Structure formats: C-alpha cells, structure tokens
Amino acid sequence: MGRFNVGNPKAVEILITKLRSHTENTPANRRLSRAVGRALTRHQQVRTPNDLGFYHGLLTGYAVAMKVLEGRLTTQ
C-alpha cells in the first residue's frame, strides 16, 4: 500500500471506494453512509489545506467506525 498525504484526492478516492463497498442495510450503516456522503461533498467543496485535512480526517474516522460496525475492530 502506498502512502498518501492528508487531503490527497487519490487517498480520498480510495477511502470512499472502501466505505461504499460495505452495503449492510442496518440503521447504523445507513446513518454512517449519509454522514460519509455529507463529508465527501464538503471535502470536494473546500480548497484550503487545513479544511481538506479536516474532512480527510473525518472520512478516515468514518472508515474506522465502519470497521467497528462490521466487528472487524474492537472498541477496547
């Protein structure tokens, strides 16, 4: 796996692909999916490095939440 800088458009593209590949139809996953969509929209609208970094971090946090919902990561 390559390394990306925070806010790198290619890193965000890969992250979104991973997040959208999970299709479980539970209330928690639907809420998370809506939140990811809003964060992605905002990420595409901002231009400053700090704002890009913020939304990239938010999307990364959502990816971790998705793993927790799948049971692939414990919350201990």
- C-alpha to C-alpha distance for 4 and 12, rounded to whole angstroms: 9
- This prediction has a pTM of 0.71
For the chain, domain boundaries: 9-69
- Average confidence (pLDDT) per 10 residues, the chain, 76 residues: 63 77 76 87 89 87 81 66
pLDDT score recorded for residue 42: 92
- C-alpha to C-alpha distance for 15 and 66, rounded to whole angstroms: 12
pLDDT score recorded for residue 2: 60
pLDDT score recorded for residue 45: 93
Question: In this structure, are residues 51 and 5 in contact, taking their beta carbons and an 8 Å threshold?
Answer: no
pLDDT score recorded for residue 41: 92
